[in-house]
Chains A and B, each alone.
Chain A
Amino acid sequence: MGSTPQTLPGIFRHWSTTHGAQRFCTFLQRGAAETITFWDLAARSRGYAGALRSRGVRPGETVIVILPHSPHLFYAFCGALAAGAVASFMAFPSPKQDRARYVADHAKLFARIRPRAVVTDETSASALREALDALGIEVIIAGDALLHGDADEAEEIEPDDDAVAVLQHSSGTTGLKKGVMLTHRAIFAHARALNAALGITERDCIASWLPLYHDMGFVACFLGSLINGTPLVALDPFEWVARPALLFDAIEAHAATLCWLPNFAFSHLARTVPAGRRWDLRSVRAFINCSEPCKSATFARFAERFADSGVTPEQLTVSYAMAENVFGVTQTPLGASARVLRVDGDAFLAGRVAACDGGEGARTLLSCGPPLPGVELAVRTPDGDPATGGTIGEIHLRSPFLFSGYDNLPEQTARVLRDGWYASGDLGFIDTGELFVTGRVDDMIVVNGRNYYAHEIEDLLNDVPGLVPGRAVAFAIENRVADATGVAVAVEGVPDADDQTLIRLVKQRIFDALTLTLGSVSIVPRGAVFKTTSGKLDRKRNQQAYAPTPFEESM
């Protein structure tokens, strides 16, 4: 990779020139497979670049891509890069999401981040155009007509290595999304580190169902394939949720070697794939679990369920990752089971780690592995001192590929990025050089690999008719049906309000804003939401009182 171009538009032009006929992606949808070569990718992206430039997009301006699963996701994104723009994926609205609210929330966000253009499909274009016209944002409808673009406008731009290449937007309330700015230099430095940890070569093949607006699907899978010239087998996330076995069909058919999955996906596969079906999954060098708390029990279930398909515990690895470090921070070694540590439960709840042999109350923690080459980790107390003597503290990191800040949010950037170190907000400890993640400093809840903040959920309920403003509390629960983490709320209703109506209103409000389905809603009497003596919501106590199932905090 050393002699290849070190910018994103440079690299896909390079592969187009040197390996044009080589497969970039096999795109799977509704039983059909479309092969996209590097030549196809470069040519079609050039078409988009011309179209974007002819609509006024200039180098350094931001282009947002909001599309359902389609090869145009790749072409529009790479087209924006080829035009010298800063490219960013955002989630396409769910069919059940209120479109008017989706558009209003995005208009609010776009008023802050000021993209020059939004590329979307025809079902969303007119509503977005109506909302974004006043902001001077072009809304462009994706489609085959753009693949040929305007040749005169398709001049090739080679950005500076230190220019911002992409924005990765955080999940959560749309209007509050933070755009993580990543330069070409950071993205390529990260790729070198991840490649070293995983031993990635051009003989690898990545299978993914992950959406591209999520860092795991975006960086590990899409950008990984783009930078390394390795093929990507891309499934439709929507189809995968309903037909999880499609992933194994794809792995077997393409002899895929790498597969990133959040913990819930391991669980979803183990629970839903019909008994008796077998595949040859021996080609996989690593299934990589990250983006949410990784559980040893989930690994054990997955390994046992798919042992007859060739899955071994040694294939199951763990990574700690975040958009602020491009993606990967740590990675457990390949070819060995991720290390499991049993710690005393009482000490753990008191914020300390004391190894034990098991027994009542013991917590089982799964290692996230050592840091990637070049990444430094520090675990600190709230005062900023090193957390020593088995104390759990906040994980800080420094690396050659740390983000440049949050787009247009200098205060939020300054809050977390100090003296070259990023304060992750995650809690954990380091044991014999390996990182263990144990929780969060704040009220963030990870559901299906996406991050939600309890206070944002509570704020969204302030204007729901029939609820007492300021008297809603959100907390994590176990979703026992899906074997995953979920979110529940307890809310105080006004007298005579119909509980069933309120529950529907609350669930719809949160789904429209966050595409999060609440696991349960408890309508509680006036004054029944617990607050601390200082008047803040007491989430722990509310969780204990209103969670339908007990919630385990450990991994």
Chain B
Amino acid sequence: MSSERSAVAQLVITAVVRTFRVVDPASIDEQTTAQDVDGWDSLSHTMLLMEIETQLRCDLPLDEIYLASNVGELVDIATRARSASQT
């Protein structure tokens, strides 16, 4: 795993914990899905999206971001978007 991806992964997991007010942060990892987190629906997903975009200072691609099946895929998308914004 690249250090870039690791940094993004940490950021995304922190954003999930903060957005959905997860009581046990250790329960969130890259295998976590939206179904595992109370309150994670399409509306609140926007809050998460904005949190990640603010932290990364780049836009995430909407077509992909709503199809991510778990946190790990969100991290992949966010990592690619960040790299693209820096080139």
Q: How far is the CB of A531 from chain B (nearest CB, A)?
A: 25
Contact of B39 among A264, A448, A482 (CB under 8 A): A482
Assembled-state Cα–Cα distance A96/B67 (Å): 7
A242 x B41 contact (CB < 8 A)? no
Type the 1/0 row for B1-44, where 1 means its CB is closer than 8 Å to any CB of A: 00000000000000000011100000000000111101111111
A482 x B47 contact (CB < 8 A)? yes
A272 x B50 contact (CB < 8 A)? yes
Known A-B contacts A96-B67, A271-B47, A482-B47; A517 and B36 likewise in contact (beta carbons under 8 Å): no
Assembled-state Cα–Cα distance A515/B33 (Å): 16
Type the 1/0 row for A477-498, where 1 means its CB is closer than 8 Å to any CB of B: 0011110101000000000000
Assembled-state Cα–Cα distance A333/B36 (Å): 45
A242 x B36 contact (CB < 8 A)? no
Assembled-state Cα–Cα distance A412/B47 (Å): 41
Q: Is B84 located at the chain interface by the 8 A CB criterion?
A: no
Type the 1/0 row for A250-279, where 1 means its CB is closer than 8 Å to any CB of B: 000000000000001000100110100000
B39 x A95 contact (CB < 8 A)? no
Q: How far is the CB of A93 from chain B (nearest CB, A)?
A: 13
Assembled-state Cα–Cα distance A434/B45 (Å): 37
Give the secondary structure class of A's interface: mixed
Assembled-state Cα–Cα distance A244/B62 (Å): 13
| Residue among B21, B35, B62 with the highest chain A CB neighbour number at 10 A | B35
Assembled-state Cα–Cα distance A96/B50 (Å): 21
| Residue among A271, A503, A517, A548 with the highest chain B CB neighbour number at 10 A | A517
Assembled-state Cα–Cα distance A501/B50 (Å): 29
Known A-B contacts A242-B66, A481-B20, A482-B47; A548 and B42 likewise in contact (beta carbons under 8 Å): no
Assembled-state Cα–Cα distance A272/B19 (Å): 12
Q: Is B65 located at the chain interface by the 8 A CB criterion?
A: yes
Assembled-state Cα–Cα distance A268/B42 (Å): 11
Assembled-state Cα–Cα distance A268/B49 (Å): 13
Q: Is A238 located at the chain interface by the 8 A CB criterion?
A: yes
Contact of B41 among A238, A482, A500, A503 (CB under 8 A): A482
A482 x B44 contact (CB < 8 A)? yes
Q: Is B83 located at the chain interface by the 8 A CB criterion?
A: no
Assembled-state Cα–Cα distance A271/B46 (Å): 10
Residues of A within 8 A of B66 (CB): 95-96, 238, 242
B35 x A508 contact (CB < 8 A)? yes
Known A-B contacts A96-B67, A504-B33; A242 and B38 likewise in contact (beta carbons under 8 Å): no
B43 x A519 contact (CB < 8 A)? no
Assembled-state Cα–Cα distance A272/B36 (Å): 23
Q: How far is the CB of A255 from chain B (nearest CB, A)?
A: 26
Closest residue of chain B to A478, judged by CB?
Answer: B39
A479 x B36 contact (CB < 8 A)? no
Known A-B contacts A95-B66, A242-B49, A520-B39; A481 and B33 likewise in contact (beta carbons under 8 Å): no
Known A-B contacts A95-B67, A504-B33; A479 and B44 likewise in contact (beta carbons under 8 Å): yes
Ranked 5 nearest A-B pairs via Cβ: A517-B41, A482-B43, A481-B44, A520-B38, A507-B35
Known contacts A238-B62, A484-B43, then 16 further A-B pairs from the complex at CB < 8 Å, ordered by chain A residue:
A95-B66, A241-B43, A241-B45, A242-B62, A264-B43, A268-B43, A268-B46, A272-B47, A481-B39, A482-B41, A482-B43, A482-B44, A486-B39, A519-B38, A519-B41, A520-B39
In the assembled complex, 29 residue pairs joining A and B whose CB atoms fall closer than 8 Å, in A order, are A95-B67, A96-B66, A96-B67, A238-B62, A239-B62, A241-B42, A241-B43, A241-B46, A242-B49, A242-B62, A243-B62, A268-B43, A272-B47, A272-B50, A274-B50, A448-B43, A479-B41, A479-B43, A481-B19, A481-B21, A481-B43, A481-B44, A482-B41, A486-B41, A503-B35, A504-B35, A504-B36, A507-B35, A519-B39
